[in-house]
Amino acid sequence: MSLNFCILASGSSGNCSIVWTEKAAILIDCGCSIKYITENLANLGISLSNLTAMVITHAHIDHINASTLGFLCKNNIQIYLHEDAFEDVSRKYGKKIEEYINMPFYKNFNIKDISIESFDVYHRDNNVSKTLGFTFSSIVNARQYKIGYTTDTGRICDKIIRNLINSNILVIESNYNRIMLDSSFRPYANKKWVLSGWGHLANEDAANAIAEIKTLSTNKDSLKYVFLAHISSHHNTYELASRTVQEALLNKGISDIKLFTAKRKQRCPTIKIS
Domain count, the chain: 1
pLDDT of 239 above 60: yes
Quickly state the pLDDT bin for 141 (edges 50, 70, 90): very high
Condensed to tens digits (0 to 9), the pLDDT of residues 8-31 reads: 999 999 999 999 999 999 999 999
Condensed to tens digits (0 to 9), the pLDDT of residues 80-93 reads: 888 888 888 888 77
For the chain, the average pLDDT equals: 94
CATH number for the domain harbouring residue 93: 3.60.15.10
Dihedral angle computed from the Cα positions of residues 143, 52, 109 and 15, in that order, rounded to the nearest 10 degrees: 90
Asked whether 169 and 224 are in contact (CB, 8 A), the reply is yes
Work out the percent of the chain whose per-residue pLDDT is above 70.
95
| Confidence at residue 132, expressed as pLDDT on a 0 to 100 scale | 95
Domain extent, residue 168, equals 3-273
| Confidence at residue 1, expressed as pLDDT on a 0 to 100 scale | 87
| Confidence at residue 97, expressed as pLDDT on a 0 to 100 scale | 64
Quickly state the pLDDT bin for 156 (edges 50, 70, 90): very high
Condensed to tens digits (0 to 9), the pLDDT of residues 112-123 reads: 999 999 999 999
| Confidence at residue 106, expressed as pLDDT on a 0 to 100 scale | 67
Cα–Cα nearest to 87, from 132, 29, 128: 128
Q: Which amino acid is at 54?
A: M
Quickly state the pLDDT bin for 213 (edges 50, 70, 90): very high
Supply the DSSP symbol for 81.
-
Work out the percent of the chain whose per-residue pLDDT is above 90.
82
Supply the DSSP symbol for 10.
-
The structure's pTM equals 0.96
Cα–Cα distance, 19 to 38 (Å, whole number): 15
All residues at 6 or more sequence positions from 39 whose CB lies less than 8 Å from its CB, including other chains = none
Condensed to tens digits (0 to 9), the pLDDT of residues 157-196 reads: 999 999 999 999 999 999 999 999 999 999 999 999 999 9
pLDDT of 207 above 70: yes
Cα–Cα distance, 172 to 185 (Å, whole number): 25
pLDDT of 96 above 70: no
